[in-house]
């Protein structure tokens, strides 16, 4: 496995001992396959972050811990790595701990492992459950600042939140749905990946409140607990459409939009308006194809830069600039795609 990095660099990136990395690189055996994969992934991460590795300045090793579909995790990784050069003269290196679904205990185990081995900071997207909040507390007690991304844990010891005002985003979606549907009768499908994510819950509350005030006669049909995964999402939406023959629009809070549209297509049903979140690869394609009406977007690169800067402020590497404002909500159509 050819690479220009020292064993010490790879070990730090992987969060493993130098002896373990040496055994993997020199094929000495006695190492679990999962650990071998961690070493190979560390080298790949270093390759992507190579522009930062040799630059002088203070180094910050940051861990990104997320539960989200691969399409969103990939967008976060790309956004962060695109922003690394803008953080000069500091050197920011990143380790990624991504999972699509599973019990909170798996996320907590990853967080506790980080607390034990050390880190300059954690960027976290996780369900708002007491056990996760307690794990955040343990990270902070270990001197590791935590910044929540996209969905907040306000009752935890986290340092700050980076993302949009989710209630305002839900109300914006309700306004757009109301404008597009006009006087056309029918229900609106609201899809949520997992109810324990506070950000999704706040979007849903904002949407319901605005719809109730402006369109009290229009019913909402909820689909939840798909984790935003396509196969699960398609089955849940199919079942909802078969039960409710008057669904004419969708507000997608949790993703899986290609699968949602496939369910409409399978039953030969029309979706008159479809509002989604985030310009990931799927949503960009669907918007270009006019399958989505609009996407509520925020600049993920800017969010990742702000999250890193928040961690740097915790270490007194940047001056405090006061309370952070929510990220701007952009209404993106096929005609103003960034």
Q: Average pLDDT over the chain, rounded to whole?
A: 92
- Predicted local distance difference test score (pLDDT) of residue 87: 85
In DSSP notation, 145-171 reads -EEEESS--TTS--SEEESB-HHHHHH
Residue 297: beta bridge partners?
330
Q: Is the pLDDT of residue 52 over 70?
A: no
Average pLDDT of 44-59? Answer: 64
Q: How confident is the model at residue 47 (pLDDT cuts 50, 70, 90)?
A: confident
- How far is the C-alpha of 148 from the C-alpha of 154, rounded, in Å? 9
- Predicted local distance difference test score (pLDDT) of residue 235: 97
- How far is the C-alpha of 80 from the C-alpha of 95, rounded, in Å? 11
More confident residue, 334 or 25: 334
Each residue's pLDDT tens digit, 161-209: 999 999 999 999 999 999 999 999 999 999 999 888 999 999 999 999 9
Indicate the range of 253-257, 321-325, 331-335 predicted with least confidence.
Answer: 321-325
Q: Quick one: tokens of 22?
A: 């040496």
Closest CA to 76 of 39, 123, 115, 111: 123
> Domains in the chain, start-ordered, CATH in brackets?
51-163+302-320 (3.40.50.2300), 166-297 (3.40.50.2300)
């Amino acid at each position: 496995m050819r690479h220009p990095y020292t064993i010490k660099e790879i070990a730090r990136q992987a969060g493993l001992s130098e002896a373990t990395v040496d055994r993997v690189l020199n094929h000495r055996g006695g190492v679990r396959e999962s650990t071998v994969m961690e070493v190979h992934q560390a080298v790949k991460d270093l390759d992507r972050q190579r522009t930062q590795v040799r630059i002088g300045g203070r180094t910050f090793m940051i861990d990104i811990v997320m539960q989200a579909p691969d399409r969103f995790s990939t967008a976060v990784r790309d956004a962060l790595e695109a922003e690394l050069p803008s953080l000069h003269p500091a050197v920011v290196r990143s380790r990624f701990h991504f999972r699509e679904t599973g019990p909170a205990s798996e996320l907590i185990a990853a967080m506790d492992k980080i607390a034990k081995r050390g880190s300059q900071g954690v960027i976290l997207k996780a369900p708002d459950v007491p056990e996760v909040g307690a794990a955040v507390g343990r990270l902070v007690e270990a001197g590791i600042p935590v910044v929540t991304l996209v969905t907040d844990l306000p009752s935890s010891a986290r340092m700050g939140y980076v993302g949009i005002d989710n209630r305002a985003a839900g109300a914006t979606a309700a306004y757009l749905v109301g404008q597009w549907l006009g006087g056309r009768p029918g229900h609106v499908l609201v899809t949520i990946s997992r109810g324990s994510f506070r950000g999704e819950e706040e979007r849903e509350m904002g949407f319901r409140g605005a719809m109730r005030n402006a369109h009290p006669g229009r019913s909402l049909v909820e689909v939840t607990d798909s984790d935003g995964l396509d196969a699960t999402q398609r089955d849940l939406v199919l079942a909802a459409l078969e039960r409710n023959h008057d669904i004419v629009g969708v507000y997608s809070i949790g993703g899986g939009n290609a699968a949602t549209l496939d369910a409409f297509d399978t039953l030969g049903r029309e979706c008159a308006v479809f509002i989604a979140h985030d310009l990931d690869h799927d949503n960009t394609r669907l918007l270009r194809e006019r399958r989505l009406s609009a996407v509520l977007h925020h600049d993920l690169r800017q969010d990742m830069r702000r999250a890193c800067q928040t961690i740097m402020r915790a270490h007194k590497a940047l001056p405090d600039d006061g309370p952070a404002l929510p990220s701007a909500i952009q209404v993106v159509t096929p005609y103003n795609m960034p």
